[in-house]
Each structure stands twice: as structure tokens, then as C-alpha cells.
Amino acid sequence: MDGKRVDQAVREHIRPLLRVAGFHSFTGRRAWRIHDDTIDHLVVGSFSRYIADGVGCTTFSFGVEAAVFYACAEEIVTTRPKEYHCTFRFILGKSVRQTFFHPYGKAGPDRPDVWYVLPDGSNLDDCIADAAKAVQNQGLLLMARFTEPHQAYRALLTQRSSAATYDSPGVWMPGNPGSPHWRKTTEAIGTLIGADVENDLINAPVLSSS
């Protein structure tokens, strides 16, 4: 199995979805879409041998992550932020069940956030098709939601981070509620939309949720 086959499959089946959705900048398995206040990013991630051994998958396996970058909330200045630069991150969840994972050579549980590509690549088409569906049904919807500042601000006040499950994305919020990172981000986006940030920070529902 040649890793270039995965690259080609991403270009042929996932990149067209992103072009239709307005993504205009591409490099490798990464794509970006620029808005007035934000930049959307999507990446089909690969695994080094070291990481693959820990996950229990092949190096041809992959995960898919979408993200939204708010320049007002981040110190880096860029038009092509990587996922770890972004304000909100979304780990997409696959719908297929795969029982192939063997972290460090021992049988392990399935990973809803990793599409396992077999060593011979025989299931690559199925994995890419499922990942494209996740991009369409999860990634694009979340980026559309969180790139709208009012919705992102409301999410900061009401929503905690969550893990990906089958057919459902994980959402990584910027810091735990009440943390300096969370507070800084909430202040930045709240100021952007003219919210009563001081009052909202005191009464944020997420601070009182269990």
C-alpha cells in the first residue's frame, strides 16, 4: 500500500466537496476558507509510525478534523492556520465499525475518530466514502455554525468539550469553562459582536452546569 493512494483519494473525493462549499486554498490534505472574521480549516490527518503503533492502526489510516480560527482571539497572524492554531476544533466521527485496532500489538477497541485503512488498501474506497460523508454532514455544518460569531459566543457560554462518537463529532472548546483561555476567547469574540461580556461571563450557564 502506497500512502500516495490515500492522498489521491482525498483529492478526488473530499477536495471537490470543499471546493463546492467555498474552500479556495489547498495544500496536501489541508484546505482553508476565509470569512470576514474567521478562517475555516479542514485536514485529513495522517499518522507517523510511532503514533500509529500507539493507536494500533496502519500509517495509511487517517482522522478528519475541521476547525475555525478567530483572529481576534489568537496571537498568531496567518491565512493558513493549522488545526492546533484554531479557536474551535471538531474531530469527525466515522459511521463504519472496525475491529482491526491493535495498539502496541494487543487487541484494542474500535476508534470512532480513526478510519482504519488495511495494509493492502482494500478498504480505502469505503473509508474515504465514509469520511466524505462525515465532512458533509458534520464538518461543514459545524464550521458554518462556529464561524458565525454570535453562535460561537453562545456556544462558549453554554457548551463544554465533547468526544467524537460514531456518526457524531467531538467538539474541542478553547479551554475549560472558567479557565484563562476560555475567558480570553469569550472576551475577544464577545467584544467582536458587542455583547455585554462582563455580565455574560458572570452568568454563563456553562459555569453552573455539572
- Averages of pLDDT over runs of 10 residues in the chain (210 residues) are 89 97 97 97 96 96 98 96 98 97 95 97 97 98 98 98 98 97 98 98 88
Confidence at residue 209, expressed as pLDDT on a 0 to 100 scale: 64
Type of residue numbered 133? K
- 135 and 18 Cβ atoms separated by less than 8 Å: yes
Structural domain including 46 reads 3-208
Q: In angstroms, rounded to a whole number, what is the distance separating the alpha carbons of residues 178 and 192?
A: 20
The C-alpha cell at 55 is 493507536
Distance between first and last Cα of the chain: 47
Judge contact between 94 and 113, C-beta under 8 A.
yes
Residue 6: partners with Cβ closer than 8 Å, 6 or more residues away: 44, 46, 60, 62, 117, 124, 128
Number of domains in the chain: 1
Can you tell me the distance from the alpha carbon of 187 to that of 181, in angstroms, rounded to the nearest whole number? 10
Is residue 135 within 8 Å of 14, Cβ to Cβ?
yes
Cα distances (Å, whole numbers) of residue 24 to 31, 40, 42, 82, 163: 7, 11, 12, 16, 29
